[in-house]
Amino acid sequence: MSAHETITVELGERSYPIVIGRGLLGGNFAVSHYVRGTDCLVVSNETVAPLYLDKLLPNLDSRTVHSIAITDGEAFKTLATVQEILDELVRTGLARDTTVIALGGGVVGDIAGFAAACYMRGVAFVQVPTTLLAQVDSSVGGKTGVNHAHGKNLIGAFHQPQLVLIDTDTLNTLDERELGAGLAEVIKHGAICDPAFFDWLEQNVQALLDRDPDALAHAIRRSCEIKAEVVAEDEREAGRRAILNFGHTFGHAIERCQGYGEWLHGEAVAAGMIMAAELSGRGSNDVCRLRDLVAAARLPVEPPSIEREDWLAAIGMDKKVQRKKLRFVLLERLGKAFTTTDYDDARLQRLIGSNA
Ligand SMILES: NC(=O)c1ccc[n+]([C@@H]2O[C@H](COP(=O)([O-])OP(=O)(O)OC[C@H]3O[C@@H](n4cnc5c(N)ncnc54)[C@H](O)[C@@H]3O)[C@@H](O)[C@H]2O)c1
Ligand SMILES: [Zn+2]
In this predicted structure, the answer to whether residue 1 has a pLDDT above a threshold of 60 is no
For 50, other C-beta atoms within 10 Å of its C-beta total: 11
Active site residue 4: no
Give the Å distance between the CA of 90 and the centre of ligand 2. Answer: 33
In this predicted structure, the answer to whether residue 125 has a pLDDT above a threshold of 50 is yes
Give the Å distance between the CA of 245 and the centre of ligand 2. Answer: 7
Ligand 1 in contact with 138 (CB < 6 A)? yes
Q: Are 266 and 183 in contact (CB under 8 A)?
A: yes
**Which residues are within 8 A (CB) of 205 and not within 5 positions of it... i.e. 6 or more apart?**
183, 293, 296, 297
In this predicted structure, the answer to whether residue 258 has a pLDDT above a threshold of 90 is no
Active site residue 189: no
Ligand 1 in contact with 134 (CB < 6 A)? yes
Cα–Cα nearest to 304, from 333, 267, 341 = 267
Pairing mode of beta strands 64-70, 124-129: unpaired
Give the Å distance between the CA of 324 and the centre of ligand 1. Answer: 33
Ligand 1 in contact with 131 (CB < 6 A)? yes
Q: CA of 284: how far to CAs of 203, 265, 340, in Å?
A: 20, 26, 21
Output the pLDDT for position 356.
42
Ligand 1 in contact with 78 (CB < 6 A)? no
Cα–Cα nearest to 141, from 170, 178, 113, 179 = 113
The amino acid occupying position 271 is A
Which residues on adjacent β-strands are paired with residue 69?
Answer: 44
Pairing mode of beta strands 39-45, 64-70: parallel
Q: Which ligand is nearest to the CA of 250?
A: 2
DSSP state of 186: H
Instruction: Give the angle subtended at the CA of 112 by the CAs of 62 and 264, to the nearest 5°.
Output: 130
- pLDDT tens, position by position, 305-318: 999 999 999 998 77
Active site residue 143: yes
Give the Å distance between the CA of 231 and the centre of ligand 2. Answer: 15
Q: DSSP per residue over 29-74, as a string?
A: S-GGGG--SSEEEEEEETTHHHHHHHHHGGGGTTSEEEEEEEPPSG
Q: Can you tell me which atom of ligand 1 is nearest the CA of 46?
A: 37
Q: What is the residue with the minimal CA distance to atom 33 of ligand 1? A: 174
H-helix segments, 57-130: 79-91, 106-118
In this predicted structure, the answer to whether residue 355 has a pLDDT above a threshold of 60 is no
Active site residue 265: yes
Cα distance between residue 68 and residue 75, in whole Å: 18
Residue 6: alpha-carbon gap to chain centroid: 19
Q: Which of 227, 235, 255, 267 is catalytic?
A: 227
From 54, 72, 76, 131, give the residue whose CB has the most ligand 1 atoms within 8 Å, as the site to mutate. 131
Give the Å distance between the CA of 65 and the centre of ligand 2. Answer: 31
Give the Å distance between the CA of 72 and the centre of ligand 1. Answer: 10
Ligand 1 in contact with 267 (CB < 6 A)? no
Q: What is the dihedral of CA 167, 255, 187, 325, to 10 degrees?
A: -130
Q: Which ligand is nearest to the CA of 141?
A: 1
Cα distance between residue 295 and residue 267, in whole Å: 11
Q: What is the residue with the minimal CA distance to atom 7 of ligand 1? A: 138
Instruction: Give the angle subtended at the CA of 166 by the CAs of 163 and 168, to the nearest 5°.
Output: 175
DSSP state of 105: S
* Residue 259's pLDDT band (cuts 50, 70, 90): confident
pTM summary value: 0.96
Output the pLDDT for position 152.
87
Average pLDDT over residues 259-271: 89
- pLDDT tens, position by position, 70-119: 999 999 999 999 999 999 999 999 999 999 999 999 999 999 999 999 99
Ligand 1 in contact with 141 (CB < 6 A)? yes
**Which residues are within 8 A (CB) of 172 and not within 5 positions of it... i.e. 6 or more apart?**
211
Q: Are 94 and 39 in contact (CB under 8 A)?
A: yes
